[in-house]
């Protein structure tokens, strides 16, 4: 299966109505009411579609509350709360509120400072701006696929150190400086670091995907100058518009992404309009490099 195809698998899709969105990533799913009680066939097709399209969008899921969002996400596996940011009371849900620093406007894969970072994220729109506040996803399998043979060989060998103490000020253009600072303090209250291969083999699809994003601190065995160049080289391939899909939110929309094969970016273009989204993440596996080495937690 080529990573650059975004067309539905032909023979098996009966239960799901799938509409591919961009050329390389993203599909809207129609006619499904998400819950913890999805028919097994429907869920199996949904999961299959997720591996193929990397991010799925469903409109009109206003019936979901926190409990039902969790029940649905649990069909993929055990849920895992954010390691430092407290969940909403009595849940494992991370709420991102624009009034309290919840503006993820730089490219990342969720929680890559953990060795076994989440495999799937499920995000539900609660309050959205009239205009602006879109999210963009990028296909990290297609990004690897488009590299030249020489760059693939380089990427295959590289490892990077990821940490939760990334430079949050680098991309901030604030209407919300205090909220952002407080959120960052909570986010980094305990240093968490992991070493990942720059290329991991997806355990389900077998695709090679690039592992980068804003939690990368440097490349192992390289100084910061070389690390910055290497980061820009791979990150630019990942975030090329051809590799992306952009979603304009309506309340009740749900996005489900394969966190092992994507990065995303929440566009911070809505000023002081209010935006609230709620995310649950499904526990992931430890990444494995092309030569079979596993990511490791870094203890300092
Ligand atoms: Fe995120």
- Measured in degrees and rounded to the nearest 5, phi and psi for residue 99 equal -80, -10
Element (H or E) spanning 165, and its range?
none
Q: Cβ atoms within 10 A of the Cβ of 234, count? A: 26
pLDDT value at position 224?
93
In angstroms, the CA 232 to CA 220 distance is: 16
Q: Give one DSSP letter per residue of 168-204, joined into a string.
A: GGGG---S-HHHHHHHHHHHTSS--EEEEESEEE-TT
CA of 4 to the centre of ligand 1 (A): 23
CA of 56 to the centre of ligand 1 (A): 15
CB neighbour list of residue 17: distance below 8 Å, 6 or more residues apart: 29, 30, 31
- Of the residues 82, 264, 275, 278, only one is catalytic, namely 264
The mean pLDDT values, 10 residues at a time, for the chain of 300 residues are: 59 76 97 96 96 98 97 98 88 90 87 97 97 97 98 98 78 61 80 97 98 96 96 97 97 98 96 94 98 92
Q: Is 275 a catalytic residue?
A: no
In angstroms, the CA 174 to CA 52 distance is: 36
Element (H or E) spanning 46, and its range?
helix 40-53
Placement of tokens 């804003």 in the chain: 214
pLDDT value at position 131?
95
Q: Cβ atoms within 10 A of the Cβ of 24, count? A: 25
* pTM for this model (two decimals): 0.93
8 A C-beta contact, residue 54 and residue 258: yes
pLDDT value at position 102?
76
- Of the residues 108, 208, 214, 278, only one is catalytic, namely 108
Q: Is 167 a catalytic residue?
A: no
Which protein residues have a CB closer than 5 Å to ligand 1 (ion)? 104, 110
pLDDT value at position 1?
43
pLDDT value at position 218?
95
Q: Cβ atoms within 10 A of the Cβ of 210, count? A: 27
In angstroms, the CA 138 to CA 142 distance is: 9
In angstroms, the CA 167 to CA 179 distance is: 16
8 A C-beta contact, residue 50 and residue 121: no
In degrees, rounded to 5, the angle at the alpha carbon of residue 265 between the alpha carbons of residues 94 and 149 is: 125
């Amino acid at each position: 299966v080529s990573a650059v195809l975004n067309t539905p698998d032909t023979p098996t899709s009966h239960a799901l109505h799938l509409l591919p969105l961009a050329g390389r990533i993203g599909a809207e799913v129609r006619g499904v009411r998400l819950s913890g009680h999805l028919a097994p066939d429907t869920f199996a097709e949904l999961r299959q579609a997720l591996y193929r399209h990397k991010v799925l969008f469903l409109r009109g899921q206003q019936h979901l509350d926190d409990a039902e969002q969790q029940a649905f996400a649990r069909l993929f596996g055990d849920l895992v709360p954010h390691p430092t940011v407290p969940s909403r009371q009595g849940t494992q849900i991370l709420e991102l509120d624009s009034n309290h620093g919840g503006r993820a406007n730089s490219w990342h894969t969720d929680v890559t400072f953990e060795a076994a970072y989440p495999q799937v994220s499920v995000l539900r729109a609660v309050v959205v701006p009239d205009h602006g506040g879109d999210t963009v996803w990028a296909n990290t399998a297609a990004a690897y696929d488009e590299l030249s043979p020489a760059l693939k060989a380089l990427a295959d060998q590289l490892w990077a150190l990821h940490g939760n103490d990334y430079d949050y000020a680098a991309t901030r253009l604030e209407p919300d400086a205090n909220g952002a600072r407080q959120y960052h303090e909570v986010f980094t209250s305990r240093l968490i670091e992991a070493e990942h291969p720059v290329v991991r083999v997806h355990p389900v699809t077998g695709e090679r995907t690039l592992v980068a994003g804003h939690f990368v601190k440097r490349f192992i065995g390289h100084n910061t100058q070389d690390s910055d160049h290497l980061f820009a080289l791979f990150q630019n391939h990942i975030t090329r518009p051809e590799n992306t899909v952009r979603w304009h939110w309506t309340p009740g929309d749900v996005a489900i992404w394969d966190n092992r094969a994507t990065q995303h970016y929440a566009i911070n273009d809505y000023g002081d309009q209010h935006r609230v989204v709620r995310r649950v993440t499904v526990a992931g596996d430890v990444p494995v490099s092309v030569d079979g080495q596993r990511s490791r937690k870094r203890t300092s």
